[in-house]
Structure 1
Amino acid sequence: MNVAISLCLILVGLCTITQGHHDGDTHNGTSVAALKLHPSTVHFALELYKELSSASPGKNILFSPIIISAAFSLLSLGAKSATHTQILEGLSFNLTNIQEKEIHNGLHDLLSALTHSDNEIKLDIGQALFVREQLKLLPEFLDHVNAHYTADILPAKFQEPKEAEKQINDYVEKKTHGKIMDLVKDLAPETALVIISYILFQGNWEKPFDPQWTREEDFFVDQNTTVRVPMMQRMGWFHYYFDEELSCVVVRLDYSGTAKAFFVLPDAGKSEQLEKALSEEVLAKWAEKVQRNTAQVHLPKFNMSTSYELKEPLKKLGITDVFSDHADLSGITDQPLKVSKVTHKAVLALDEKGTVAAAAGAVEAMPMSMPPTIRFNHPFLGFIVRNNVVLFAAKIVDPSES
């Protein structure tokens, strides 16, 4: 079982300052509104990836761009003036080409499509708002939230921080099946609103790796650091592409169902060049160019957990006012609010397992000539994708770190 879990939390505190219906048109099962968002969601994923990579050189990276986008899009329903524009443009939505209604309709349809119509994978996505007792949310804001997002709205005693922390942490632990615990710590008594957005993905490889072939191998973290990791391996048919222009190889592994994982291995010394070149066009090229052929693939087995404070990376993307005393969240309540903290936690476990049926049919006819060996034994990138949506983006620098 391959498990990926991610959660975004936005703390909205009181500022201490002295002054519905969706378009039913679809294309191949995806609504037109959702299709219109795809370029923006991919662009945001890559821009945030670059910011996190730049801020944490030499560190593992794992995050879910779609739930960060969902959490801030929900927040934007109560934002006005420059705060409102900065949030949506910071999420890579071009407000000249797309109307705000289309953004929320599209996200509603996108999230709905992601969590339905595939019995082979488990994908849960949801939002929750924990609201300070006695804080009255404006009816128009609540109407918009209920129309566009499936969100639980729950009262919380933020004036009793420990009690509120337990309430939120219990909720998160239940929704992530115990994978994310103690998300909230040191809540400020003046906290007014906590917005949580979570995603839980569980899937099986369509063609699993056989655990008996997993071996300890060297993984070269950098020029000075080598670690031993359990390396899965399989010889057979894969979809892959050698991108000579960007000096990397792209391997696509399919899950049972409609989700796919792309693993991108840059040539030695080419990681920085590859990251700078990442774009929607590059990801689209890789998805189109991978071809089915034989190979022997070695891929680390790992269990990764990451945690980020996203305020500074999001500021770099242009979302600034919402974190300051200039925040205009007057569409949420008549009291002045600003965002004090954005926490994102993610967990990814990658292993050999697949379905019993797939394991029973693991023998494949192979050409007589020896296929190429693709060995993921130095830092590489990973993307889990469904319906052209990047569910998770990762950089595996040291798979031995949990």
Structure 2
Amino acid sequence: MPFINADFAFSLYRRLSVENPHWNVFSPVSISSVLAMLSFGSGSSTQTQILEVMGFNLTDTPVTELQQGFQHLICSLNFPKSELELQMGNAVFMGQQLKPLAMFLDDVKTVYETEVFSADFSNVSAAQQEINSCVEKQTKGKIVGLIQDLKLNAIMILVNYIHFKEESSNFSVDKSTTVQLPMMHQLEQYYHFVDAELNCTVLQMDYSENALALFVLPKEGHMEWMEAAMSTKTLKKWNHLLQKGWVELFVPKFSISATYDLGSTLQKMGMRDAFAESADFSRITEDNGLKLSYAFHKAVLHIGEEGTKEEATPEAGSLDQAEVASLHPVIRFNKTFLLMILEKRTKSILFLGKVVNPIKE
């Protein structure tokens, strides 16, 4: 089913936007995969709540089918390094007094490519350093200092991260004098669409055979209206109405990242039992008292970071600016816009975020 995680993505986006209205970027598919993995080790209402928060109904979709779906998705996200640099990973840290079941360890490693580590949470600084070092090592130094304020009495910590880099080598780069920002410029055929209902312009950019990006530019003053209306239905409408045509495109180079402890947000969305004393994680360990303490997520996104050409492309260079503007629509992403990066086959949302000030990390 296409756009299977879209409603979860937009629901989470709206909640994170309340906490930070000016800045956010996260990976819905990455968070979905780690929650699916957690549901794999849970039972009773703990499992039901996790899956319902993700937008799944066990009556319609059996757990085994969900697990298979995520296994296929994770496999499909192993993009060839020559096309895109995408790195996604999960890790589980459990208190050293707990003994995880061998079957759980094998299954999550096979299905979710996730390692389970034992940690001494009585030594907070050492545990924090151990987790950060593990993530830094797994991402080859791309993600450092994930956790900054670990507190005492943790029992189980979920760690989830994603790093994406797209070099956009076909663009020319200009320094915009108005915003002092490197703008990538290209005259090319893109799928695009003006949504009169949501007062926004949508442009689709294909990155490879595996991934595409949707850049969504609302009219002045309509960002909140558009954010509130985003849904699976909206994406399906755009997918149907996007049409290919020549566009003169200006889009900024940017590098953005964000770190979240999703615990309170997930509980507000309905995932309460996993964080409570009554949590049922009997498929992870036979020991009593296992509950989720933290759920950390970090997303790092680079667009056009390297490899861009400094000279104008032949198409753009051979035409006078006024002539180009009169022949083709000009779309400038020079103010706040929404960005989605999707995996093509499943249309799963890899990244969802609001780009407010692209210069700022």
Task: Tell me the residue number matched to 1:15.
Answer: none
Instruction: Give the 3 Å change call, closer, same or farther, for CA 282–75 of structure 1 in structure 2.
Output: same
Matches within 5 A, 1:251-290: 251-290=203-242
Cα displacement string for residues 194-218 of structure 1 (whole angstroms, at most 9, x for unaligned residues):
332332323333x62212x232324
Match of 2:7 in 1: 43
Please state if 1:378 is matched with 2:339: no
Q: Which has the higher mean CA deviation after the structures are superposed, 191-200 or 174-183?
A: 191-200
Alpha-carbon distance in structure 1 between the residues aligned to 2:46 and 2:5: 20
Q: Which residue does the alignment assign to 2:42?
A: 79
RMSD: 2.6
Corresponding letter in the other structure for 2:302: A
Aligned-pair CA distance for 1:168: 1.5
Q: Deviations over 1:212-237 (max 9, x none)?
A: x232324xxxxxxxxx5333333333
Query: Does the CA-based 8 Å contact 1:129-1:195 persist in structure 2?
Result: yes
Secondary structure in 1 matching 2:105: helix
**Match for 1:327: what amino acid?**
A
For residues 346-365 of structure 1, the aligned pairs below 5 Å read 346-351=299-304, 353-354=306-307, 362-364=313-315
Distance 2:305 2:126 in 1: 41
| Most deviating of 249-258 and 100-109 | 249-258
Structure 1: distance between partners of 2:238 and 2:167 = 22
C-alpha contact 1:118 1:257 (8 A) present in aligned 2: no
* Distance in 1 (alpha carbons) for counterparts of 2:360 and 2:175: 18
Unpaired runs of at least 5, structure 1? 1-35, 219-227
The residue that corresponds to 1:391 in the other structure is: 350
| SS of residue in 2 equivalent to 1:47 | helix
Cα offset, 1:267, TM superposition: 1.0
Match of 1:252, SS state, is strand
Q: Deviations over 1:320-357 (max 9, x none)?
A: 1212223222332222122222222222222364588x
Give the 5 Å matches for 1:164-175: 164-175=127-138
Give 1:248 shift.
Answer: 0.7
- Which residue identity is paired with 1:336? G
- Whether the 8 Å contact between 2:171 and 2:308 is mirrored in structure 1 is no
Over residues 142-172 of structure 1, what are the superposed CA-to-partner deviations in whole Å (9 max), with x where a residue is unaligned?
3432442212233333333322222221111
Equivalent in the alignment of 1:345: 298
**CA pair 129-339 structure 1, distance change in 2 beyond 3 A:** closer
**Cα distance change, pair 363–270 in 1 and its aligned pair in 2 (3 A):** same
Aligned residues of 2:142 and 2:163 also touching (Cα < 8 A): no
Alpha-carbon deviations, 1:247-272, whole Å to 9, x = none? 11011122144311110001112112
| Percent pairwise identity | 38
- Whether 1:300 and 2:252 are equivalent positions in the alignment is yes
Q: Tell whether 2:203 aligns with 1:214.
A: no
TM-score w.r.t. the length of structure 1 is: 0.79
Pair 299,76 (structure 1): closer, same or farther in 2 beyond 3 Å: same
Unaligned runs of 5+ in 2: none
Q: Which amino acid aligns with 2:143?
A: I
Give the direction of change, closer, same or farther, for the CA distance of 1:301–1:188 in structure 2 (3 Å limit). same
Checking the alignment, whether the CA contact within 8 Å between 1:40 and 1:91 is kept in structure 2 is: no
* Distance in 2 between residues matched to 1:237 and 1:253, nearest whole Å: 9
Shift of residue 89 of structure 1? 0.6
> Matched residues in 2 for 1:364 and 1:297: separation?
12
| Contact 2:158–2:296 (CA under 8 A) maintained in structure 1 | no
Letter in 2 for 1:172: V
Q: Which residue does the alignment assign to 2:195? A: 243
After TM superposition, give the deviation of residue 50 of structure 1 in Å: 1.6
Paired residue type of 1:46: F
Distance (whole Å) between structure 2 residues aligned to residue 352 and residue 172 of structure 1: 22
Q: 1:303 to 1:119 in 2, by over 3 A?
A: closer
Question: 1:18: which partner in 2?
Answer: none
Q: How far apart are 1:391 and its partner, in Å?
A: 0.5
**What is the rounded CA distance, in whole Å, between the counterparts of 1:256 and 1:145 in structure 2?**
29
1:2-401 counterparts in 2 under 5 A?
36=1, 38-57=2-21, 59-116=22-79, 119-205=82-168, 208-211=170-173, 213-218=174-179, 228-333=180-285, 334-351=287-304, 353-354=306-307, 362-364=313-315, 369-387=326-344, 388-401=347-360
Q: What per-residue deviation string (whole Å, max 9, x for no partner) do you get for residues 81-130 of structure 1?
A: 21110001101112221001111111011101111567412323332233
Which residue matches 1:19?
none
Alpha-carbon distance in structure 1 between the residues aligned to 2:341 and 2:150: 32
> Partners in 2 of 1:120 and 1:340 — Cα distance?
37
Quote the Cα distance in structure 1 between the aligned partners of 2:217 and 2:239: 15
